[in-house]
């Protein structure tokens, strides 16, 4: 379900990267990024986050200040869906309405602006002026282009398949042992009263910890109303960074930063989902 979306993203992104367009885009957006307390250089790792958050966080090493690194990491963790999560969301919402998916994109963009503004004000530090070499516009060299594309797709398959199998095993284990019912009862107030979701949906909160797109997968098999689907999609979009991202943030910064970002995204996801459910019922 997800591989076609991943392939299309990397086909386009690799082309823009190799032809020299991304540095020019960074220059164009320098003024806008400065409003968030970052420079135009930050736009490149931010765009990489739409492919995968792990290389996006690693790419922040090239940014000139720690403040910019933390801001971009926050933006990627909060409101930038990786391509596999985007593919899962398209699969979930496509059977209902295209306007639901467009509404989710608008919501993600608004949260991105809000998080960037808040992070720019509370994260200590200063922003260095942007210094970026602008390469010539070039037609990508075919051999190098397709080799890069092959490496990225192979990396996705190997990195995604293992956690997905783990998530399937965990879901089956919880269901067969009856632990799923017990966990659902603990989260009943949050799921049923606040988010308006059935108790069976608790599995999407559990699997989302392993990989973000796995938070979407269980919702596809449930018989949900359009409002419940949109609430579930919004929660999964702003949910916790997956384990690999959490590990990279811990390595690049520290455990305290990773926990703080993780808790913030979780609270943000639940509050946004509850607000959508409340407004929907009105």
Enumerate residues 6+ apart whose C-beta is below 8 A from 175. 203
Measure the CA angle with vertex 2, ends 101 and 244; round to 5°: 100
Give the residue among 236, 277, 255, 248 at the shortest CA–CA distance from 84. 236
Q: What is the pLDDT of residue 250?
A: 92
How far is residue 2's CA from residue 159's CA, in Å, rounded to a whole number? 13
Q: What is the pLDDT of residue 55?
A: 86
How far is residue 246's CA from residue 262's CA, in Å, rounded to a whole number? 8
How far is residue 132's CA from residue 134's CA, in Å, rounded to a whole number? 6
Give tens-digit pLDDT for 180-239: 888 878 888 888 889 999 888 888 888 888 778 788 888 888 889 999 999 999 999 998
Give tens-digit pLDDT for 119-159: 988 888 887 778 777 888 889 999 999 999 998 888 877 77
* 55-to-59, 192, 211, 233 alpha-carbon distances in Å: 6, 36, 15, 24
89 near 81, Cβ under 8 Å?
A: yes
Structure token pair of residue 179: 């632990």
Helix axes 226-237, 83-94, angle to 10 degrees: 180
- First-residue to last-residue Cα distance in the chain: 35
Provide the whole-model pTM. 0.84
The better pLDDT of the pair 35, 148 is held by 148
Sign, CA dihedral 261-262-267-269, equals: positive
* 4-to-10, 81, 157, 206, 215 alpha-carbon distances in Å: 10, 16, 12, 26, 19
């Amino acid at each position: 379900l997800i591989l076609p979306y991943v392939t299309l993203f990397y086909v386009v992104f690799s082309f823009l990267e190799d032809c020299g367009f991304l540095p020019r885009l960074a220059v164009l957006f320098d003024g806008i990024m400065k409003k968030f307390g970052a420079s135009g250089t930050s736009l490149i790792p931010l765009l990489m986050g739409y492919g995968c958050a792990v290389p996006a966080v690693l790419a922040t090493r090239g940014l000139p200040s720690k403040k910019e690194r933390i801001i971009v990491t926050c933006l990627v963790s909060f409101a930038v869906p990786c391509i596999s999560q985007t593919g899962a969301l398209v699969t979930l919402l496509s059977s209902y309405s295209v306007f639901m998916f467009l509404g989710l994109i608008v919501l993600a963009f608004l949260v991105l602006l809000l998080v960037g503004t808040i992070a720019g004000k509370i994260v200590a530090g200063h922003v260095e002026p942007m210094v970026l070499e602008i390469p010539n516009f070039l037609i990508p060299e075919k051999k190098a282009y397709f080799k890069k594309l092959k490496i990225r797709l192979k990396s996705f398959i190997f990195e995604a398949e293992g956690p997905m199998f783990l998530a399937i095993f965990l879901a089956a284990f919880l269901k067969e042992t009856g632990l799923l019912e017990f966990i659902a009862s603990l989260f009943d107030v949050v799921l049923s009263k606040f988010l308006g979701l059935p108790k069976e949906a608790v599995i999407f909160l559990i699997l989302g910890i392993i990989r973000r797109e796995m938070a979407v997968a269980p919702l596809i098999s449930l018989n949900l109303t359009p409002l419940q689907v949109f609430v579930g999609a919004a929660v999964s979009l702003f949910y916790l960074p997956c384990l690999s991202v959490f590990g990279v943030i811990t390595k690049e910064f520290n455990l305290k930063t990773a926990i703080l970002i993780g808790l913030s995204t979780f609270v943000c996801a639940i509050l946004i989902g509850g607000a959508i459910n409340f407004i929907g019922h009105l």
